[in-house]
């Protein structure tokens, strides 16, 4: 889940500054290659009521008339195949107003998501009693995600190195390994001979369960072989 927080230039800012902002936001979106995206922000624009011609990006429940800054929000949503979540839920006027000051009531804060993920939102509204930064009101949404159960990978068959604790298995393994080793040898060749001899003499597990002793015994065999392969004490 990718969460993007932004603050659009205010209405009185230069057009060049606004275009730079939208260009940078486009770049942020282009760098998100997978996963859900939620953008929560003060877009400083009015997307307006109704959605004729913009059904893929908006619902019918905005307020006021659309202005140039709101059009930029809608154009961005279309360009990125996103939706303005706030406008898809029918609420009272009071629960859609995100900015209230000096007799002015307007909707400038929006939540955007990918159009294909809109069905995961069950609610979006303004919390009238909560202010994050006056005179803005908090916009909240309810999003339900389905969690898939991940299947545990099947354990791979492993050599039954723990059988080397039995003296008879250890003797047989040593004799078989002596015959398998070819001198002069290097470590990769020796390691291959150990693994193949272990499979042949000790057998393989079914793969249903990984024995806790497997790794420890495997490491012990490697250390033992390295010591035995020293110049002072060859096979």
pTM comes to 0.62
Question: Mean pLDDT lowest for which of 9-13, 211-215, 231-235?
Answer: 231-235
Q: How much is the pLDDT for 217?
A: 52
Average pLDDT (98-119) is: 91
Q: Which domains does the chain have, with CATH numbers?
A: 2-143 (3.60.10.10), 161-228 (no CATH)
Average pLDDT (175-184) is: 79
Closest alpha carbon to 235 in 164, 166, 180, 163:
180
- 131 versus 11: the higher-pLDDT residue is 11
pLDDT tens profile 57-102? 999 999 989 999 999 999 999 999 999 999 999 999 889 999 988 8
Task: Work out the percent of the chain whose per-residue pLDDT is above 90.
Answer: 46
The answer, yes or no, to whether residue 214 has pLDDT greater than 70, is no
């Amino acid at each position: 889940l990718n969460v993007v927080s932004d603050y659009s230039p205010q209405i009185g800012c230069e057009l060049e500054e606004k275009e730079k902002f939208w260009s940078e936001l486009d770049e942020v979106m282009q760098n998100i290659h997978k996963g859900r995206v939620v953008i929560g922000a003060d877009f400083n624009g009015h997307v307006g009521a109704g959605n004729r011609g913009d059904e893929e990006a908006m619902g019918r429940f905005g307020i006021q008339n659309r202005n140039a800054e709101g059009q930029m929000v809608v154009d961005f949503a279309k360009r990125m195949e996103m939706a303005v979540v706030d406008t898809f839920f029918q609420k009272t006027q009071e629960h859609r107003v995100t900015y209230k000051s000096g007799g002015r009531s307007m909707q400038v804060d929006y939540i955007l998501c990918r159009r294909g993920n809109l069905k995961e939102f069950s609610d979006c509204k303004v919390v009238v009693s909560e202010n994050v930064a006056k005179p803005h009101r908090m916009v909240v949404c309810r999003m339900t995600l389905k969690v898939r159960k991940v299947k545990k990978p099947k354990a791979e068959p492993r050599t039954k190195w723990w059988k080397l604790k039995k003296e008879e298995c250890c003797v047989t393994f040593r004799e078989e390994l002596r015959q398998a080793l070819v001198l002069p040898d290097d470590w990769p060749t020796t390691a291959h001979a150990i693994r193949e001899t272990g499979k042949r003499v000790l057998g393989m597990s079914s793969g249903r369960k990984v024995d806790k002793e497997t790794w420890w015994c495997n490491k012990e065999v490697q250390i033992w072989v390295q010591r035995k392969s020293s110049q002072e004490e060859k096979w």
